[in-house]
Amino acid sequence: MSDTPIFQSTPRKGVKDLAGAGVIRQYRRGSYLFHQGDEAPDVFFLWKGRVEISSLSLTGERQLHTTLDRPQFFGELGVLGDMPRTSTALALEDSTVWVTKGEVFLSFMAGHPETSRALLHALARQVLAHEAFVEDLLFLDLKGRVAKRLLQLVSPSLDELPPDGTVVPAVVTHADLASLSGGSRENVTRILSEFQRRGLVERDGRRYVLKNVSGLERLAGL
């Protein structure tokens, strides 16, 4: 927990005290941690495993937001905003999660301004990411958006792109990419098939391998 970005400037004793104020829960694959619309009394920290964060639109369409596969906090937005859950969390594999009460988390933040600042920076980056997604919808065609999402799956900030041959770390389905790119699954499937024919990507079991990063970069307008 101390190695996560929001705690990098926090004294280890403080992090240890916070950790002691929570409990460890085990979630089996296919278990829901919380649902969109639920009350939000707790904050979660993924210790190990893989958790999918998604939501349903007003029209009932599923929107994938992200897949968590490394230690990090989640579920804090409902606690910070004192509002119901805006998304659903599903364990994609057996997962170990630390959980604490929202009041405990808020009290800790109030006593550690350096952690509050780091959390605000993280939330600001999320806002910028959402704004960038809207901009992509306006100015990038679907092919460019799919290429960009594939690159972001291995390099979220896009500041330093990976070498050719990099494997996408999480299993991502065509439906997932469609949700992340703002397109239909059928169109994304056709685009991925074209990418494979052009040698931009290939499949390695259930994962994608980025074979031509510079080609994807050009399509993404980077």
Paired strand residues for 162: none
Domains recognised in the chain with CATH numbers = 5-132 (2.60.120.10), 141-219 (1.10.10.10)
Distance between start and end Cα atoms, the chain: 33
Q: How many angstroms separate the Cα of 54 from the Cα of each of 62, 82, 85, 167, 207?
A: 7, 20, 11, 23, 20
More confident residue, 186 or 130: 186
Inter-residue contact 55 to 88 (CB < 8 Å): yes
- CB-count exposure of residue 56 (10 Å: 0-12, 13-18, 19+): middle
Taking only the tens place, the pLDDT of each residue in 19-54 is 999 999 999 999 999 999 999 999 999 999 989 898
Q: What is the pLDDT, as a whole number, of residue 105? A: 93
Taking only the tens place, the pLDDT of each residue in 125-179 is 778 777 777 777 778 889 999 999 898 888 877 778 889 988 887 767 888 888 8
- CA neighbours within 13 Å on the CB side: how many for 78? 23
Mean pLDDT for 9-24 is 90
**Could you count the other beta carbons within 10 Å of the beta carbon of residue 173?**
12
* Whether residue 95 has pLDDT greater than 90: yes
Q: What is the pLDDT, as a whole number, of residue 222? A: 80
